[in-house]
Amino acid sequence: MYTMPSLRERQKLRRRERIFRTAVNLFRERGFHQTSASEIAKAAHVSRGTFFNYYPYKEAVLLDYGAALLEDLRLKARDELAGGDPPLEVLRRLWERLAETSENERELLSPLAYELLNPDPARARAAFEALPLGALVAEILKPLLESGQLRKDQSLERIARSIADVYLLAALRWAAYTPNRRLKDEMMKFLELMLEGVLAR
């Protein structure tokens, strides 16, 4: 049975949303590394302590951003699969959308990608759980496994996580070393190499 959130809960949700939107806007305007938690709190009209009540560290804002982005991509992929689109086409379109968003939102997605590699295990796990790209890839590839088009000596989870890791590697390499190249081109090359290795022969 649905229970209406209390006034206090609704106020907390609105405050979190205001802090989130303010932070994302500041990151885009000033740059992620140039924006402090104190500046976010001031612009969102909350105390610095309140900011940290909602987000224990600045990068945690990006986890919410990435989770929302990934959910949007998941819904599009699910609709395409339900409409009868071949899974490999759906996966390639997902990759194109990821590349386009990564290029357009580089200021947000580069530090987010690095958060997945954080030396603090708790933070790296929080990022991994907030950004289940491997689970989305597995959902897309599952029909291929069921029809015998994927190799069977590796689990679907391992295959999907390996493909998701390729996105992370391509995005980090692009951001650090080749920002003048198109990320989409790099990502599609990596994806095709991975698919050669995972499709049944």
Q: What are phi and psi of 99, to 5 degrees?
A: -65, -45
CB 52 within 8 Å of CB 23: no
| Pair 42, 69 in one domain | no
Does the pTM of the predicted model rise above 0.85? yes
Query: Could you report the per-residue pLDDT of 56-95, keeping only the tens digit for each?
Result: 999 999 999 999 999 999 999 999 999 999 999 999 999 9
pLDDT digits (tens, 9 = 90+) for 13-38: 999 999 999 999 999 999 999 999 99
16-25: b (≥16 Cβ within 10 Å) or e? beebbebbbe
If asked whether residues 48 and 86 sit together in one domain, one would say: no
**At 188, which amino acid appears?**
M
**Does 150 share its domain with 189?**
yes
| Span 123-173, pLDDT tens digits | 999 999 999 999 999 999 999 999 999 998 999 999 999 999 988 888 888
CATH of the domain at 189: 1.10.357.10
Residues 26, 97: one domain?
Answer: no
What CATH number does residue 44 fall under? 1.10.10.60
Range of the domain at 26: 1-55
The residue among 39, 155, 158, 160 whose CA lies nearest residue 91 is 160
Looking at the structure, do residues 130 and 51 belong to the same domain, yes or no?
A: no
Q: Are residues 47 and 64 in the same domain?
A: no
Number of domains within the chain:
2
Residue 182 has pLDDT above 90, yes or no: no
Q: Assess whether pLDDT exceeds 70 at residue 2.
A: no
